[in-house]
A and B are shown apart, each in its own frame.
Chain A
């Protein structure tokens, strides 16, 4: 019997299995970027190990003309470049799919499947024959398989060559060998196989106003544009590229053209305790400052986050979540720091969280986080994750309004202080919950003693219950007041919706696609993506408007659901969890399967009418 996949244009998924540290990342990125430039919706997910060299690593490319580019689980083409993982990689190809492998060596018989097609390209042999240097022979194998893919998928060769030219414009030798390797793979595929495959690309115009960017770079850009002058950090996966990105940007855009001096300072701290301490010191002094970290860093920062909360010092913390607990899986994605960030530190604390769902929001929310921190004089977290932070996403071009000026909140000027009979640090102003602050060095009358110990509204030490509670109660009201200043939840309603689906962060793409797929099956649901904490009124309303809701999130303990139960009037029974937390980016199929399973498994609060 003949196994075939259906012919498709701009709708397929490729998985590339590589060995890390062999240079495959640039070849995979090249393919992904070329498809982007062809104007076709695409995503690339890097599933990599916590290792420098020698372990298996995968890259997944999904192409979808309709714009659904969450992680696919059905691979039409497997580029199997790692003999260590042939076994599992070949099993993952969908029936009728294709495997591109290095035929310099034969495949073991036990690996063969009668329902898949093999495309053997002697990559190693060709590269040994064409290149002299051992390192070059290894590296060029990657570009050679990229060349074969160009032929098999009908990627625009001119675009690929242009990209290579851009990368190596200053290294002519590398340009020549990359171009040669690309042609080796391309020519071999053209000569030996029917090109293109039944699934292939065709140029579109979907990306004219789009960019290809990862969330960490977008956050770095946001920090640059928000006017950050001080940044402090401790290296940690997957947040390191936030600060690397910020440093690169500062070197380009923050070197004073007249003096050559740096209008910024980046401090690599001795640990995360110090990193957050430096940010607190800088923002206490009136600078805009931030730190970037991941879950383990947040654990260490807990102590000083409580100080910043209680002493009312603005702070911005970027948390690029990875898999916990403990060291967990540093290179895998999860949404398991929600509770930790929302209530970080001992005692009664509540923080503002911004929850971006893609790199474009990473940029916007990064800018917003400083305005909120300054206005509410409190820590603000940008809670991103590895999938958003380290993978390239196609998003609308970032926009900037030149009329933007930082909202520095209530900071008293010299003259305002001068006019006061006496300054008291923690007196809420004009019925707001915000107490004007003073900066050091401005006026002796504005001086006060910042402390994490018990204090009254005048800023003086206290151990008197009423005085202590008065300040704590104002802090709670201040947090509540932030609910109307944070980005509202995104809600998409659908006719005949029977229930709601709530999600957060990078689950966005997969859950939207899932909701559409469910609708195609006659199951209609409204969609809400929560984008901040404290929750706005619309969040509670959405839950109230539905008989029940699924909460889709990437952690074991239903952290978002727990927060919804704690912080809204929603009854617990109305919320059902869909939890996917193994560490890979979410796919729509998983969500559809799980929601369908839960709908059919137990009697539901409402009857689900299928097949309308």
Chain B
């Protein structure tokens, strides 16, 4: 992963956000992924969402494991610490980081090999702990860096570049998340930034673990006929089950209610996510109904995208552990060390 800095040229007309920063300030080094890789589109969506939200670059921590997807934190927000850890182990590292300093925004970028095979156990437990972070799975059904093996998200019947068919059932992170009590579940497509950006913004505002499964085709190993994770197949079989409109906190909602009917979910920080769904009665808070809807569509070969499930009531890791609102790293020494007198006194127990 050689890092190549981008030339620092800025167009005078570049727009600035509330912090006075341009989109370029949210970019990273040059991508070394294959030309046309879906992951680069996801990176662009992340850059856009963070810029629009005016996130302070150094208040962001970029977490990843190992794999093509896990390289991408190098390609956005150079001003943020990044942690390219070990294969599958990003969830516990992010959990520990979040435990120590809850004041940072954590964005994890992982892939289907990282999250659904070697790190599946860790993902499940990060979901259960409801660690506050955005957890993106750039899902292409294939191992790219090792040249084309099936991943655990490969669909039954999908073919490798060499023509071999996968016969094992896929692991769907959304269905998995629903069964584990996940509190924010969305699916996107790297070819649809318009849909992805508001989902990312809602995920940032979510108070717990926000999973965004992004179908992100591998142009080199999995973009052929016979693949169910190709650009063509995804475009043909995808439905946008929900349209998400992210409304930041303290913004007066002026938009008329859509004639189709909308569901609005207020997030913890006061922001609102408004859904307008293809099925008019889609309820993103009804775990059972969402699971049924997804399974029915999966059975019919449709890839359901959109913000699919939100639960703002379940406590997150810090609420479950009754920690202070400020980072544990900021607790003063006087509150950490009970001191000599106390040590003397407490040793009476050991007499």
A residues at B contact (CB < 8 Å): 36-37, 211-213, 217, 221, 224-225, 227, 229-230, 232, 253-254, 256, 259-267, 269-271, 273-287, 289, 303-304, 307, 397-402, 404-406, 438-453, 460-463
Stretch of B175-183, B227-235, B254-262, B318-326 at the chain-chain interface: B318-326
- From 320 to 349 in chain B, residues with beta carbon under 8 angstroms from any chain A beta carbon are 321-324, 328-329, 331, 333, 335-340, 342-344, 347
Interface flag for B11 (CB, 8 Å): no
Give the residue of A404, A406, A447 whose beta carbon is less than 8 angstroms from that of B80.
Answer: A447
CA distance A442 to B56 in the complex (A): 11
- CB of A281, distance to nearest CB on chain B (Å): 3
- CB of A437, distance to nearest CB on chain B (Å): 10
With A271-B121, A287-B101 already in contact, the answer to whether A261 and B58 are too (CB < 8 A) is no
Closest A residue to B73 by beta carbon equals A449
Evaluate contact between A441 and B104: CB separation under 8 angstroms. yes
- CB of A29, distance to nearest CB on chain B (Å): 12
Evaluate contact between A229 and B328: CB separation under 8 angstroms. yes
Evaluate contact between A450 and B81: CB separation under 8 angstroms. yes
CA distance A406 to B329 in the complex (A): 13
Residues of B within 8 A of A440 (CB): 58, 61, 80-81, 97, 101, 104
- Which of B2, B121, B336, B350 is most buried by chain A, counting CB atoms within 10 A of its CB? B350
- CB of A553, distance to nearest CB on chain B (Å): 29
Closest B residue to A438 by beta carbon equals B81
Evaluate contact between A281 and B81: CB separation under 8 angstroms. no
With A229-B331, A263-B335, A449-B84 already in contact, the answer to whether A444 and B58 are too (CB < 8 A) is yes
Residues of A within 8 A of B121 (CB): 270-271, 274
Give the residue of B1, B98, B351 whose beta carbon is less than 8 angstroms from that of A453.
Answer: B1
- CB of A538, distance to nearest CB on chain B (Å): 30
- CB of A312, distance to nearest CB on chain B (Å): 13
Residues of B within 8 A of A266 (CB): 321
- CB of B192, distance to nearest CB on chain A (Å): 28
CA distance A213 to B351 in the complex (A): 9
Evaluate contact between B58 and A277: CB separation under 8 angstroms. no
Evaluate contact between A256 and B321: CB separation under 8 angstroms. no
Residues of B within 8 A of A37 (CB): 351
Closest A residue to B87 by beta carbon equals A303
CA distance A221 to B345 in the complex (A): 13
With A274-B122, A398-B347, A450-B81 already in contact, the answer to whether A230 and B100 are too (CB < 8 A) is yes
With A229-B100, A265-B328, A269-B92 already in contact, the answer to whether A304 and B86 are too (CB < 8 A) is yes
Evaluate contact between A277 and B92: CB separation under 8 angstroms. yes
- CB of A327, distance to nearest CB on chain B (Å): 20
Evaluate contact between A453 and B347: CB separation under 8 angstroms. no
Closest A residue to B103 by beta carbon equals A441
Evaluate contact between A285 and B86: CB separation under 8 angstroms. no
Residues of B within 8 A of A304 (CB): 85-86, 89
Evaluate contact between B58 and A230: CB separation under 8 angstroms. no
Give the residue of A307, A398, A405, A448 whose beta carbon is less than 8 angstroms from that of B81.
Answer: A448
With A281-B96, A286-B100 already in contact, the answer to whether A263 and B324 are too (CB < 8 A) is yes
Residues of B within 8 A of A461 (CB): 1-3
With A211-B347, A211-B351, A447-B81 already in contact, the answer to whether A402 and B96 are too (CB < 8 A) is no
Give the residue of B2, B58, B83, B99 whose beta carbon is less than 8 angstroms from that of A441.
Answer: B58
Give the residue of B2, B78, B100, B338 whose beta carbon is less than 8 angstroms from that of A282.
Answer: B100
Interface flag for B237 (CB, 8 Å): no
Residues of A within 8 A of B244 (CB): none
Residues of A within 8 A of B6 (CB): none
Contact sample, A vs B, 22 pairs, CB 8 Å cutoff: A213-B347, A225-B337, A225-B343, A263-B331, A267-B96, A270-B121, A270-B122, A274-B122, A281-B92, A282-B97, A284-B83, A286-B101, A287-B101, A440-B58, A441-B103, A442-B58, A444-B79, A448-B82, A449-B73, A450-B81, A451-B84, A460-B3
Query: What per-residue 1/0 map shows which CB atoms of B107-135 lie under 8 Å from chain A?
Result: 00000000000000110110001000000
Interface flag for B53 (CB, 8 Å): no
Residues of A within 8 A of B308 (CB): none
With A263-B328, A281-B99, A440-B61 already in contact, the answer to whether A303 and B86 are too (CB < 8 A) is yes
Interface flag for B214 (CB, 8 Å): no
With A286-B100, A440-B61 already in contact, the answer to whether A447 and B79 are too (CB < 8 A) is yes
Evaluate contact between B342 and A253: CB separation under 8 angstroms. yes
Interface flag for B95 (CB, 8 Å): yes
CA distance A75 to B271 in the complex (A): 74
Interface flag for B59 (CB, 8 Å): yes
Interface flag for B44 (CB, 8 Å): no
- Which of A278, A287, A402, A441 is most buried by chain B, counting CB atoms within 10 A of its CB? A441
Residues of A within 8 A of B304 (CB): none
Residues of B within 8 A of A278 (CB): 92-93, 95-96, 99
Evaluate contact between A263 and B58: CB separation under 8 angstroms. no
CA distance A463 to B32 in the complex (A): 15
Residues of B within 8 A of A450 (CB): 81-85
Give the residue of B79, B83, B125, B329 whose beta carbon is less than 8 angstroms from that of A286.
Answer: B329
CA distance A229 to B58 in the complex (A): 23
Closest A residue to B56 by beta carbon equals A444
- CB of A379, distance to nearest CB on chain B (Å): 14
CA distance A254 to B324 in the complex (A): 12
Evaluate contact between A444 and B89: CB separation under 8 angstroms. no
- CB of B116, distance to nearest CB on chain A (Å): 16
Evaluate contact between A227 and B340: CB separation under 8 angstroms. no
Interface flag for B148 (CB, 8 Å): no
Give the residue of A271, A398, A444 whose beta carbon is less than 8 angstroms from that of B57.
Answer: A444
Residues of A within 8 A of B218 (CB): none
Interface flag for B74 (CB, 8 Å): yes
CA distance A307 to B83 in the complex (A): 11
Residues of A within 8 A of B125 (CB): 269-270, 274
Interface flag for B94 (CB, 8 Å): yes
Residues of B within 8 A of A405 (CB): 333
Evaluate contact between B100 and A281: CB separation under 8 angstroms. yes
Beyond known contacts A211-B347, A270-B92: 17 more, CB 8 A cutoff: A36-B351, A211-B350, A213-B347, A217-B350, A227-B336, A230-B328, A256-B335, A277-B89, A287-B329, A289-B96, A398-B343, A399-B340, A440-B58, A441-B103, A447-B80, A450-B85, A452-B84
- 3 A-B pairs with least C-beta separation: A281-B96, A277-B92, A278-B96
Give the residue of A211, A224, A406, A451 whose beta carbon is less than 8 angstroms from that of B333.
Answer: A406
Evaluate contact between B339 and A400: CB separation under 8 angstroms. yes
